[in-house]
Structure 1
Amino acid sequence: MENENIKSIVEEVKEYLNITWIEEDAKIEKMVVRGIDYLESEIAGISLDFKDNFNRELLFNYCRYVRNNAIEYFEENFGKELLRLQIKSAANEVI
């Protein structure tokens, strides 16, 4: 994903998490990159469009769980959504 797109997502994640300071930007950027990699590599198996609201919302929630040191609960709490992402991704690959 292009660096300018990541910067845009970082700003949206900061807004989602109610972070108004810049001191954590580098940390949040790493969180976003890891979240994108996780959703694309581990869940979907393909590159995802994070302009899609569903994908974006999953990424934001992934970041929220990481920020709150509760990432071990993400798959458990978002299992339905992650399965939906896998099915959507598989269907898009076939088409």
Structure 2
Amino acid sequence: MDKLLQEVKDHLNITWDEEETNRKIERIIKDAIATLNWKLGAEIDYSEEEGQEHNLLLDYCLYAYNQCTNEFDNNYFNEIMQIRQKYEVIQYEQSK
């Protein structure tokens, strides 16, 4: 979580280190993971530094930090659908 916390803070341009801010960002990250797993239809490891999933998490945290998650789905619909389809194919292959 510490690495992911620092990456999200970097993405949000948060340069200070305060316990209250860190707690808020950690809560945003946990909510983002739960929300994106539901939207993407899979349990995903977002700690990987590269890839659509990681970038989507960072962007969702940006929207959550700025209290505008209501705009996220419209702006990231294509990315959500691409990743969702990827995991649907993976789940289908695993079920064979």
Shorter-chain TM-score tier: 0.7 to 0.9
Deviation track 1:39-91 (CA, whole Å, cap 9, x = no partner) reads 11x21222113215210100000000011111100001000011111101101
Are the aligned partners of 1:43 and 1:85 in contact in 2 as well (CA < 8 Å)?
no
> Which of 22, 25, 31 is matched with 1:25 structurally?
22
Query: 2:8 — aligned with what?
Result: 13
Query: 1:47 — aligned with what?
Result: 43
Query: 1:59 — aligned with what?
Result: 57
**What code does the residue aligned with 2:61 have?**
C
Give the Cα–Cα distance (whole angstroms) in 1 for the partners of residues 89 and 36 of structure 2: 16
Root-mean-square deviation (Å): 1.1
Give the Cα–Cα distance (whole angstroms) in 1 for the partners of residues 53 and 30 of structure 2: 14
Bigger mean CA offset, 10-19 vs 50-59: 50-59
Gaps of 5+ in 2: none
State, as a whole percentage, how many aligned pairs show the same letter.
Answer: 29
Gaps of 5+ in 1: 1-5
Q: TM-score, normalised by structure 2?
A: 0.86
Give the Cα–Cα distance (whole angstroms) in 1 for the partners of residues 40 and 71 of structure 2: 19
**What code does the residue aligned with 1:19 have?**
I
> Which of 79, 82, 87 is matched with 1:81 structurally?
79
